Amino acid sequence: MSHLNAIALRVTQIKHLSQFHAQVIHHSLQHHSYWVSLLISHCTRLRAPPFYTRLIFNSAQQPNVYAFTNMLKFYSHVGAHDDVIALFDCMRVSGVIPDAFVFPVLIKSWGKAAIVFHGHVLKMGHQGDRYVRNAVMDVYAKHGPICFARKLFDEMSERMVADWNSMISGYWRWGNKVEADKLFTLMPERNVVTWTAMVSGYSKTRDLVTAKRYFDQMPEKNVVSWNAMLSGYAQNGFAEEAIELFNEMVNRRVQPDETTWVAVISSCSDRADPNLANSLVKMLNQKNVRLNSFVKIALLDMHAKCGNLAAAKKVFEELGAFRNAVAWNAMISAYTRVGDLSSARELFDRMPRKNVVSWNSMIAGYAQNGQSTMAIEAFKEMIRSKDMKPDEVTMISVISACGHLGVLELGNWALNFVNENQISLSISGYNSVIFMYSKCGSMKDAKRVFEEMETRDVISFNTLITGFAAHGDGFSAIDLMRKMKGDGFQPDRITYIGVLTACSHAGMLEEGQRVFESISNPDVDHYACMIDLLGRVGKLDEAKRLIKKMPMVPHAGVYGSLLNASRIRKRIDLGEFAARELFKIEPENSGNYVLLSNMYASMGRWGDVERIRGEMRLGGVKKTTGWSWVEFGGKLHKFIVGDKSHERSNDIYKLLKELREKMRKAGYTADKDSVLRDVEEEEKEEMVGTHSEKLAVCFGLLVSEAGTSIRIMKNLRVCWDCHEAMKMISKLEGREIIVRDNNRFHCFNNGSCSCMDHW
């Protein structure tokens, strides 16, 4: 059979392998263990499909220990650990005695459960085998406790480089940089694997400068080393560096493999550039790159992030048996990214084996598309299904959803969950807590959390500054920016928007101007803040001059600020100017028409009011508003304009009608407040239904008893606009009404109101 052996030596491609296989069958040798194990070892090297390899194995009549071992190695190589274990059982049943070569493979597949096999290994007398010893040690290094691995390591009389490498990568896995470093300097001889482990270790700690230093110092590199560095860049968001390194790799004639492409593709995903994506796909086709499931899923994600949902879907459909949890999750986020929550949810519900990331994707999808209640509902569903453990990523979405709702109790409940389940928070976790407290009006707590943080990033500062801005605390915002610079953080555009907004809300003109002048490259949003600030302090002409001086095209926010300021200051000339510009930029936005029309109304120019409404009708502009929320009985009730979907809708409208009649009888004029104003008029015009705020307030009145509070969660405006109405209602109904917005109680009694600070 020497000519067969000669053919076997020439197997370098799948094509050759199948020719060799055909020859083996031709000579009816496919039942012989020798040829079977030889074929399987080729399969492993060439990554033949598992079913084909198993076919070869099954054709052996009585597979010997070598055939079993090679088949086990094949399964191990493709990561099919369940098959390794199943085949080992099969091996024992057939009475084949496993040798020392089997155990390292088996132990690796058993992973954490390998301790069970420890006894088995001892019984078979293989504990003295250096490879078995390494495998056992590696299991402890990977799955912990690492001190067990260290104990085995220390007891060794002679160590292979692989033993040192196992320990080093084990320490990196557990985040122990110090020990990893120590072993690296201590070890007598290093190889590529050692150096690569250091590169990927430093990448894990996000210290890419040191990672690159080790990479550059490596005496020799292979594809894996390049991949380690490349993935380090890709995973930490350094897309530019990754692509640059890839080019260098190509220049040095290093042949990229699938892992290389995964890193390159995911770097291109970050850029979200459809052109780059297309040229990359073209390149993959040109080079005839073999696409394994990792590459395919990376491509799926890239298409989704570059806005090509159809292509992503196509890849997903074509994945077939490789459609694993990661592919499902990537597809779910593809849908949530474009705001298609129902498709995302449908996929999520259809998904067979959900993992934490699936839940996190769904919850984040809700949270980022303004569906905070749905996010929290999904989270509750998640913790009801006992086998799912929320992690930090889950909690970040949940906590910020609580922030968006402005419900402190809910936020505290989420934080409580974090503590009870010992979920440790990183910087972004704490940032979400700062955001939540700020949005819930609890600046004291926001500040406390910020101060308690050991390490902060730019986002920590920006979140707190934005919080100060929303609360009109200009001094704290400026002060914090100063502190930020002192700590060595460079303020970014968000910082400046925050500080300028804070100055604007606090009416701090000079400080705001100083900050604005210090911005090296102000963008359109900074101009918008500045114009808002000038408008608020009454310097409207200066605001207009600044608009004229802007080096870029102003956006709607710029003119919106001017329009609002003009309304307050009754500068009809500037108001008209701003409104005209706004009608050009966003003709479909009803708010602009309403503002201008209100401005005319406040000056008694009813003819102009009528004219604007006519323009609105002609342009087909529909009035739109957001949702209003009321909490009652631990449940959130939400209302939108003209909402009739609420279970107590009939009662709500009945109450509204009753109140209106009572008010009319009591002699109140309809346009004095917003709860009862022009309801009939609006409905007659069929432009809009009853405002969401009115519905929310009426529902609150309906369900609350005297002395209990109505909690209006969203639309802070509600409380403000409804102020007068609530006064009247308290007088008419003869009862005390407590309305709570984000951080205050408003207590209405007998026609007057007192505010109580809360907390």
Partner DNA sequence: CTAGGGTTAG
> From residue 615, how far is each of 419, 610, 643, 687 by CA, in Å?
56, 9, 26, 13
Burial class from Cβ neighbours inside 10 Å (0-12, 13-18, 19+) for residue 135 reads: buried
Sites for DNA among residues 282-321 (CB under 7 A): 292-295, 297-298, 301
Q: Closer to DNA by CB, 228 or 710: give it.
A: 228
- How many of the chain's residues bind DNA (CB under 7 A)? 73
- Report the first-to-last Cα separation within the chain, whole angstroms: 89
- Supply the minimum distance, in Å, between the C-beta of residue 391 and DNA: 6
Residue 703 as a binder of DNA (CB under 7 A): the answer is: no
- Supply the minimum distance, in Å, between the C-beta of residue 455 and DNA: 14
Asked if residues 102 and 70 have their Cβ atoms less than 8 Å apart, the reply is no
Residue 495 as a binder of DNA (CB under 7 A): the answer is: no
Residue 466 as a binder of DNA (CB under 7 A): the answer is: no
State the CB neighbour count (10 A cutoff) for residue 207.
15
Q: Closer to DNA by CB, 274 or 472: give it.
A: 274
CA-based nearest residue to 574, from 539, 608, 602, 606: 539
Question: Which helix (H) or strand (E) element contains residue 712?
Answer: strand 709-712
Cα torsion 548, 554, 558, 563 to 10°: value is 70
The residue within the footprint of DNA, chosen from 83, 241, 258, 693 (CB under 7 A), is: 258
From the list 132-140, 275-283, 662-670, 734-742, the region that binds DNA by CB under 7 A is 132-140
Q: Closer to DNA by CB, 232 or 535: give it.
A: 232
- Supply the minimum distance, in Å, between the C-beta of residue 208 and DNA: 13
Q: Closer to DNA by CB, 393 or 579: give it.
A: 393
Asked if residues 565 and 543 have their Cβ atoms less than 8 Å apart, the reply is yes
State the CB neighbour count (10 A cutoff) for residue 325.
15
Residue 217 as a binder of DNA (CB under 7 A): the answer is: no
Asked if residues 467 and 499 have their Cβ atoms less than 8 Å apart, the reply is no
The residue within the footprint of DNA, chosen from 67, 87, 114, 135 (CB under 7 A), is: 135
- Supply the minimum distance, in Å, between the C-beta of residue 53 and DNA: 16
Binding mask 423-462 for DNA (x = CB under 7 A): ---x-xx---------------------------------
Beta bridge partners of 503: none
> From residue 197, how far is each of 118, 168, 192, 203, 420 by CA, in Å?
27, 7, 8, 10, 36
Residue 161 as a binder of DNA (CB under 7 A): the answer is: yes
From the list 8-16, 345-353, 358-366, 690-698, the region that binds DNA by CB under 7 A is 358-366
Burial annotation 97-107 (CB, 10 A radius, 16+ → b, else e):
ebebbbbbbbb
Sites for DNA among residues 100-119 (CB under 7 A): 100-101, 104-105, 108
What gap in Å lies between CA 600 and CA 608, rounded to an integer? 6
Q: How many helices (H) and strands (E) would you count in the chain?
A: 42, 6
Residue 49 DSSP class: -
Residue 400 as a binder of DNA (CB under 7 A): the answer is: yes
How far is Cα of residue 159 from the mean position of the Cα atoms in its chain?
A: 44
Residue 704 as a binder of DNA (CB under 7 A): the answer is: no
Grouping H, G, I as helix, E, B as strand and the rest as coil, residue 47 is coil
Residue 323 as a binder of DNA (CB under 7 A): the answer is: no
What gap in Å lies between CA 504 and CA 473, rounded to an integer? 10
Binding mask 569-598 for DNA (x = CB under 7 A): ------------------------------
Tokens found for residue 618:
């002609």
- Supply the minimum distance, in Å, between the C-beta of residue 215 and DNA: 12
Binding mask 171-200 for DNA (x = CB under 7 A): --------------------xxx--xx--x
What gap in Å lies between CA 195 and CA 163, rounded to an integer? 14
Q: Closer to DNA by CB, 233 or 559: give it.
A: 233
Sites for DNA among residues 218-237 (CB under 7 A): 222-225, 227-228, 231, 234-235
Residue 76 as a binder of DNA (CB under 7 A): the answer is: yes
Q: Closer to DNA by CB, 108 or 662: give it.
A: 108
Please tell me the chain's helix, strand, coil percentages from 3-state DSSP, rounded to the nearest 5. 70, 5, 25
Sites for DNA among residues 14-73 (CB under 7 A): 73
- Supply the minimum distance, in Å, between the C-beta of residue 96 and DNA: 17
Asked if residues 478 and 502 have their Cβ atoms less than 8 Å apart, the reply is yes
- Supply the minimum distance, in Å, between the C-beta of residue 17 and DNA: 19
Tokens found for residue 503:
């100055």
From the list 387-395, 416-424, 549-557, 683-691, the region that binds DNA by CB under 7 A is 387-395
- Supply the minimum distance, in Å, between the C-beta of residue 432 and DNA: 7
Q: Closer to DNA by CB, 127 or 235: give it.
A: 235
- Supply the minimum distance, in Å, between the C-beta of residue 245 and DNA: 13
Strand-by-strand arrangement of the 628-632 sheet = 635-639, 628-632, 709-712, 737-740, 744-749, 752-757
Residue 325 as a binder of DNA (CB under 7 A): the answer is: yes
The residue within the footprint of DNA, chosen from 211, 357, 562, 656 (CB under 7 A), is: 357
What gap in Å lies between CA 505 and CA 473, rounded to an integer? 8
> From residue 680, how far is each of 245, 651, 720 by CA, in Å?
67, 17, 22
Q: Closer to DNA by CB, 339 or 707: give it.
A: 339
- Supply the minimum distance, in Å, between the C-beta of residue 324 and DNA: 7
Grouping H, G, I as helix, E, B as strand and the rest as coil, residue 370 is coil
- Supply the minimum distance, in Å, between the C-beta of residue 152 and DNA: 14
Token pair 């690296």 in the structure block, residue: 184
The residue within the footprint of DNA, chosen from 356, 453, 519, 753 (CB under 7 A), is: 356
Residue 364 as a binder of DNA (CB under 7 A): the answer is: yes
